Amino acid sequence: MEDLDKLKSDLSALIVGAADLAGLEAARIEALGRNGRITQLLKGLGQMDAEARREAGQKFNVLKNEIGAALDARKAQLEDSTIDARLAAEKIDITLPPRSQRSGRIHPISQTMDEVIAIFGEMGFTVAEGPDIEEDWYNFTALNIPPEHPARQNHDTFYLDAEKNGAPLLLRTHTSPVQIRTMQNTKPPLRIIAPGRTYRCDHDATHSPMFHQVEGLVIDEATHMGHLKGCLVDFCRAFFGIDDLPVRFRPSYFPFTEPSAEVDIGCSFAGGTLTIGAGEGWLEILGSGMVNPKVLENCGIDSTKYQGFAFGMGIERIAMLKYGIPDLRTFYESDVRWLNHYGFAALDVPSLVGRARP
């Protein structure tokens, strides 16, 4: 039988001498691996008689436990020194300047939409939506713009090859068809705004073939022109952030409203600079009116019981005015330098809440 003391000192020397975890693993295999020296001893127990086996078994197990404990202790030592070595080698230089964080910007069109939605949302309006590809009935006829009506010519409509209900489909020229869809699908009272994309065959510094509008519609039993005025005056002042902004209602014509009014805000053009809220000038910003009873009837709403008002405005136009953006085409050029200049940080939306009412 092997000299157990010699075996113990040999294995202990291997363990203590292991320079790293790989060396220690080799020592473990040498001692306790499948063919390790202690393993061999334990395997040999089977050949002994009962008396010798009990005696040797105890000794072998003591040795096995001692060597196991020595392996654990050396492993802990080696791991500690690995971490110590890493800590010593990896020094963080906290005097280095941090890398700058690049944050995205909200596009002025999205920002303006959010602002409009926030302001009307606080007045109790909900958001309604409709399709960009529209039927003639919703875009024109139901809005009291029948086929021969001259207003159709002003819309520069993009027609599609496909037809529905005997008329070509088209890209909606305004958000007003959402009024029709809402009135057909929902019982009054109604109070909705409909932001979205609109399309006209037009392209210059102030027109784009695709642009955005927001539509508004209020239908109730007792809604009158005073409500229209109050609502739009409040909106204009909240949107432009000027509590005493002059707002003017100028008689106009739209087939879907009667009477109709365009809304102007006070401004000055002095010295070639536009200043909103000052001076003697006026700028048109939106169209509005009392919903034409014919439109109510087209949607199956009893015009002797219900009435209301509607309005529509161009998002790009009010964004250009509020944020001093001179050329409409830049909205769609996807120039990151432009967006860094004109874009917005997230969650930066004004509110009616807490605004002083003049």
Q: Which is nearer to ligand DAH, 111 or 139 (CB)?
A: 139
- Restricting to residues 109-168, name those near ligand DAH by CB under 6 A: none
What is the closest distance, in whole angstroms, from the C-beta atom of residue 142 to ligand DAH in the complex?
13
- Restricting to residues 244-263, name those near ligand DAH by CB under 6 A: 254, 257
Asked if 298 touches ligand DAH (CB under 6 A), the answer is no
Helices marked H in the chain: 4-17, 21-32, 37-44, 50-89, 108-122, 136-139, 177-185, 225-240, 293-298, 315-323, 336-342
Q: Which is nearer to ligand DAH, 14 or 173 (CB)?
A: 173
Q: Which stretch binds ligand DAH (CB under 6 A): 113-121, 266-274, 294-302, 304-312?
A: 304-312
3-state secondary structure of 313: strand
Cβ burial of 44 (10 Å; 0-12, 13-18, 19+) is middle
Interface residue with ligand DAH among 174, 181, 212, 317 (CB under 6 A) is: 174
DSSP string, 250-306: EEEEETTEEEEEEEEEEEE-GGG--EETSSSEEEEEEEEEEEPHHHHHHTT--TTT-
Q: How many CB atoms lie within 10 A of CB 158?
A: 16
What is the closest distance, in whole angstroms, from the C-beta atom of residue 257 to ligand DAH in the complex?
4
Q: Which is nearer to ligand DAH, 14 or 265 (CB)?
A: 265
Interface residue with ligand DAH among 112, 139, 176, 182 (CB under 6 A) is: 176
- Which is it for strands 126-127 and 190-199: parallel, antiparallel or unpaired? parallel
Interface residue with ligand DAH among 130, 195, 196, 289 (CB under 6 A) is: 289
What is the closest distance, in whole angstroms, from the C-beta atom of residue 134 to ligand DAH in the complex?
13
Interface residue with ligand DAH among 312, 328, 331, 339 (CB under 6 A) is: 312
Cα distance between residue 213 and residue 192, in whole Å: 14
What is the closest distance, in whole angstroms, from the C-beta atom of residue 186 to ligand DAH in the complex?
17
What is the closest distance, in whole angstroms, from the C-beta atom of residue 288 to ligand DAH in the complex?
5
Interface residue with ligand DAH among 112, 144, 182, 288 (CB under 6 A) is: 288
Asked if 310 touches ligand DAH (CB under 6 A), the answer is yes
Asked if 311 touches ligand DAH (CB under 6 A), the answer is yes
Cα distance between residue 39 and residue 29, in whole Å: 10
Q: Which stretch binds ligand DAH (CB under 6 A): 112-120, 240-248, 266-274, 283-291?
A: 283-291
Q: Which is nearer to ligand DAH, 11 or 194 (CB)?
A: 194
What are the two backbone dihedrals, phi and then psi, of residue 271, each rounded to the nearest 5 degrees?
65, 25
What is the closest distance, in whole angstroms, from the C-beta atom of residue 210 to ligand DAH in the complex?
14
Contact 14, 37 (CB under 8 A): no
Q: For 95, what's the count of Cα atoms within 13 Å in the CB-facing half-sphere?
A: 0
Residue with tokens 């065959």: 201
What is the closest distance, in whole angstroms, from the C-beta atom of residue 254 to ligand DAH in the complex?
4
Cα distance between residue 41 and residue 136, in whole Å: 96
List the one residue out of 216, 185, 177, 203 whose CA is nearest residue 311: 216
What is the closest distance, in whole angstroms, from the C-beta atom of residue 231 to ligand DAH in the complex?
12
What is the closest distance, in whole angstroms, from the C-beta atom of residue 124 to ligand DAH in the complex?
18
Cα distance between residue 147 and residue 141, in whole Å: 7
Q: Which stretch binds ligand DAH (CB under 6 A): 101-109, 243-251, 307-315, 345-353?
A: 307-315
Residues in touch with ligand DAH (CB under 6 A): 174, 176, 215, 254, 257, 287-289, 310-312
